[in-house]
């Protein structure tokens, strides 16, 4: 009877654990999925993730020492933002901006922590939810662009597709990571298993094209080329490599054909000519254009060590920074600016070896890494301190960094345990008293 009771208790406990894990997995998926819907701030993403952070912290949210660089540098970055508010005549009115940044920084730490505990499972969940959200966002953008659904104008801005985002220049970069994930699958998986991924990929590519975001176009090309090279280098020799080259060539042909077909639509053709064939727009050139403001921003940085606070740069010069490196200093002060640069460099250096590590989560990390590098490049022409997916990418990479450290430590502990056993004796700590 006692054995039966024990078995029943164990089974009940196992069921509770399995149910709790399932709820946690679905919650994580929903958090990531909501990242595609940012019409206003705070967005549904923040409103849902806020209680999730609290609940997860109570029921098993754990940090490890390998996440310290991420935590410390983000803390300094946010501290700089709050300190910069003291330079405003009415700091309370701008407080929400820094609070949102603070929350997004917490989200990066959250993703990194939970990924480091179970990298294969949780990265797979994030991947699926991200692709699903990108599919919905791109579908709304494309249907809205061609006015195939009621209220189509809600998904457009200046005749550019923006989907459920505030800005086409945020919507389009959001699609790049799922594009790269799907593209890598097509390169490396049997075609009969990836045909539906090709269909989704074409939809995402059409969405990013109709957004007419030159930065996103460039980032997509860069990330696509980079993941092709990385996949080629890390694949087995022979047929798989030939397959990668062949599918890359076929992919270039298909995308070029899709663009040519799209350009037969007069409105698309005209907007493509206006944005795609002109290197500098009117708002880019001149002393108060995008790049002229970059130079003036450097002078402001030198003159204001504590920063200017949110929106002050635009008030003074008539436009936003459009440069993440400069905005790091103007909005978050010297300490925030240098902290962000340190975080970007540290992440890049620490994550680079991961793309060559044969782990079950290697493919996702490879895709995340190349998209991260792409975002660092477009930092030079756009400020994205409130892009939810950028903080998700930081969290994914640092989760992978910490997971690798934990895996290596576990392997070493296992090796030290097995060596004495191989010589016919128990480890010292296992001997009976």
Q: Is residue 196 very low, low, confident or very high in pLDDT (cuts 50, 70, 90)?
A: very high
Let me know if residue 382 belongs to a domain.
Answer: yes
How many separate domains does the chain show? 1
- The pLDDT value given to residue 14: 55
- The pLDDT value given to residue 6: 41
Let me know if residue 425 belongs to a domain.
Answer: no
- The pLDDT value given to residue 237: 60
- The pLDDT value given to residue 428: 43
* 110-126 CB burial, b ≥16 within 10 A, e <16: bbbbbbbbbbebbbebb
Q: Which residues pair with 38 in a beta bridge?
A: 165
> How many whole angstroms separate alpha carbon 164 and alpha carbon 170?
10
In this predicted model, which residue has the larger pLDDT, 290 or 58?
58
- The pLDDT value given to residue 254: 87
- The pLDDT value given to residue 272: 78
Does pLDDT of 316 surpass 60? yes
The separation between CA 72 and the C-alpha centre of its own chain, rounded to angstroms, equals 20
**For the chain, percent of residues with pLDDT exceeding 90:** 57
- The pLDDT value given to residue 422: 52
Q: Which range among 35-49, 72-86, 105-119 shows the weakest confidence by mean pLDDT?
A: 35-49
Does pLDDT of 108 surpass 60? yes
Let me know if residue 420 belongs to a domain.
Answer: no
Non-local (6+) Cβ contacts of 428 within 8 A are: 420
Q: Is residue 430 very low, low, confident or very high in pLDDT (cuts 50, 70, 90)?
A: very low
- The pLDDT value given to residue 92: 73
What would the pLDDT profile of 258-304 be if each residue is shown by its tens digit? 888 888 887 787 777 766 655 555 555 556 566 778 888 888 999 99
Let me know if residue 2 belongs to a domain.
Answer: no
In this predicted model, which residue has the larger pLDDT, 202 or 283?
202
Let me know if residue 418 belongs to a domain.
Answer: no
The separation between CA 39 and the C-alpha centre of its own chain, rounded to angstroms, equals 18
Q: What is the pTM of this model?
A: 0.88
- The pLDDT value given to residue 42: 77
Non-local (6+) Cβ contacts of 4 within 8 A are: none
What would the pLDDT profile of 228-246 be if each residue is shown by its tens digit? 999 999 887 655 888 888 8
Q: Which range among 92-101, 115-124, 217-226, 285-294 shows the weakest confidence by mean pLDDT?
A: 285-294
Let me know if residue 433 belongs to a domain.
Answer: no
> How many whole angstroms separate alpha carbon 334 and alpha carbon 330?
8
Q: Which range among 18-32, 237-251, 266-280, 415-429 shows the weakest confidence by mean pLDDT?
A: 415-429
The separation between CA 330 and the C-alpha centre of its own chain, rounded to angstroms, equals 24
Q: What value does the mean pLDDT take over residues 141-157?
A: 93
Let me know if residue 209 belongs to a domain.
Answer: yes
Range of the domain at 343: 24-413
| Percent of residues in the chain assigned helix, strand, coil, to nearest 5 | 75, 0, 20
- The pLDDT value given to residue 341: 97
In this predicted model, which residue has the larger pLDDT, 130 or 432?
130
Q: What value does the mean pLDDT take over residues 109-126?
A: 96
Q: Which two tokens stand for residue 225?
A: 């080329």
Does pLDDT of 388 surpass 60? yes
Q: What value does the mean pLDDT take over residues 29-54?
A: 89
Let me know if residue 359 belongs to a domain.
Answer: yes
- The pLDDT value given to residue 7: 42
- The pLDDT value given to residue 17: 64
Q: Which two tokens stand for residue 384?
A: 């994205």
């Amino acid at each position: 009877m006692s054995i039966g009771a024990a078995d029943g208790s164990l089974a009940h406990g196992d069921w509770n654990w399995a149910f709790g894990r399932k709820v946690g997995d679905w919650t994580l998926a929903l958090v990531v999925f909501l990242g595609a819907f940012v019409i206003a701030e705070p967005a549904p993403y923040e409103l849902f993730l806020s209680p999730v952070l609290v609940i997860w912290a109570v029921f098993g949210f754990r940090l490890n020492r390998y996440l310290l660089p991420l935590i410390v540098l983000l803390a300094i970055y946010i501290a700089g933002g709050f300190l910069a508010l003291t330079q405003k005549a009415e700091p309370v009115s701008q407080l929400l901006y820094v609070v949102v940044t603070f929350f997004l920084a917490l989200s990066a730490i959250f993703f990194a922590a939970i990924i480091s505990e179970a990298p294969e499972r949780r990265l797979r969940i994030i991947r699926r939810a991200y692709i699903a959200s990108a599919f919905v966002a791109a579908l709304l953008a494309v249907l809205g662009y061609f006015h195939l659904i009621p209220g189509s104008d809600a998904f457009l801005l200046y005749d550019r597709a923006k989907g459920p985002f505030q800005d086409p220049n945020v919507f389009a970069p959001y699609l790049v990571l799922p594009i790269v994930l799907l593209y890598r699958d097509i390169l490396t998986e049997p075609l009969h298993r990836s045909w539906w991924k090709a269909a989704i990929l074409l939809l995402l590519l059409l969405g990013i094209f109709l957004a007419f975001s030159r930065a996103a176009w460039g980032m997509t090309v860069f990330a696509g080329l980079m993941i092709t090279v990385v996949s080629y280098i890390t694949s087995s020799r022979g047929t798989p490599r030939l397959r990668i080259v062949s599918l890359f060539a076929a992919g270039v042909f298909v995308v070029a054909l899709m663009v040519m077909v799209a350009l037969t639509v007069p409105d698309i053709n005209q907007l493509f000519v206006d944005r795609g064939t002109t290197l500098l727009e009117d708002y880019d050139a001149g002393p108060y254009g995008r790049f002229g403001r970059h130079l003036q921003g450097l002078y402001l940085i030198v003159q204001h060590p504590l920063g200017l606070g949110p929106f002050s740069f635009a008030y003074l010069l008539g436009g936003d920074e459009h440069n993440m490196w400069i905005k790091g200093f103007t909005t978050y002060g010297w300490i925030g600016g240098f902290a962000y640069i340190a975080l970007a460099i540290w992440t890049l250096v620490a994550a680079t070896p991961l793309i060559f590590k044969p782990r079950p989560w290697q493919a996702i990390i490879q895709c995340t890494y190349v998209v991260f590098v792409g975002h660092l490049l477009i930092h030079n022409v756009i400020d994205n301190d409130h892009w939810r997916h950028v903080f998700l990418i930081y969290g994914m990479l640092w989760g992978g960094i910490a997971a690798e450290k934990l895996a290596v430590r576990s392997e070493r502990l296992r090796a030290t345990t097995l060596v004495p056993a191989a010589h016919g004796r128990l480890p010292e700590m296992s001997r009976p008293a």
